[in-house]
Structure 1
Amino acid sequence: MTTHEYKVEMTCSGCSGAVTRILTKKLTEPGSSFDVDLENKKVTITSELPADTLTEMLKKCGKEVSYIGVK
């Protein structure tokens, strides 16, 4: 498992809720997890999926997403 860190332009609990709903539905592999930090506008995802795939998942929330790197 690799832990990836993203900056997501979340401004409210609705934004972070959208990210949470998307990741809850899409991250179905055993052992995967995520953390949404609204205050710092960061999302940390631990998964076997490649960074590009995770980026595309996060973009579905409609906010600007940028990949920070492996944590």
Structure 2
Amino acid sequence: MAETVVLKVAMSCQGCVGAVNRVLSKMEGVDSFEIELKEQKVTVKGNVKPDAVLQTVSKTGKKTTFWEEETKEAPPAIANATATATE
């Protein structure tokens, strides 16, 4: 079954991009992937398991997390800021 996995990867240069590119190119089940250095975002499509993709990219030594984790943390901070401002 095709899966899309989106990761946040701490990349600062083309060398980082190259390292991520190398490990994903060798990963079984990957159909395609996109690496966005500016956004520090990696999108992988294929017959892959999200945890396996995370582990594979983590082998580059770059801090790697699922992209959704960051977006889930943002709303409570915004809600707290709004509540504090109105009190």
TM-score range, shorter chain: 0.7 to 0.9
Q: Which 4+ runs in 1 deviate beyond 3 A?
A: none
SS at match of 1:32: strand
Amino acid at match of 1:2: E
User: Any residues of structure 2 matched to 1:1-71 within 5 Å, and which?
Assistant: 1-26=2-27, 28-29=28-29, 32-69=31-68
CA distance in 2: counterparts of 1:34 and 1:47, whole angstroms: 9
CA distance in 2: counterparts of 1:47 and 1:56, whole angstroms: 16
CA distance in 1: counterparts of 2:26 and 2:39, whole angstroms: 23
Give the count of matched residue pairs. 67
CA distance in 2: counterparts of 1:2 and 1:49, whole angstroms: 6
Q: 1 or 2, which has the higher strand percentage?
A: 1
The structure with the larger Rg is 2
- In the TM superposition, residue 4 of structure 1 has moved relative to its aligned partner by 1.1
For residues 20-51 of structure 1, give each alpha carbon's deviation from its aligned partner in whole angstroms, at most 9, with x where no partner exists: 0110111x33x711000011100000022111
Amino acid at match of 2:24: L
Percent of matched pairs sharing the same residue: 34
TM-score by length of 1: 0.86
Q: 1 or 2, which has the higher helix percentage?
A: 2
CA RMSD of aligned residues (A): 1.3
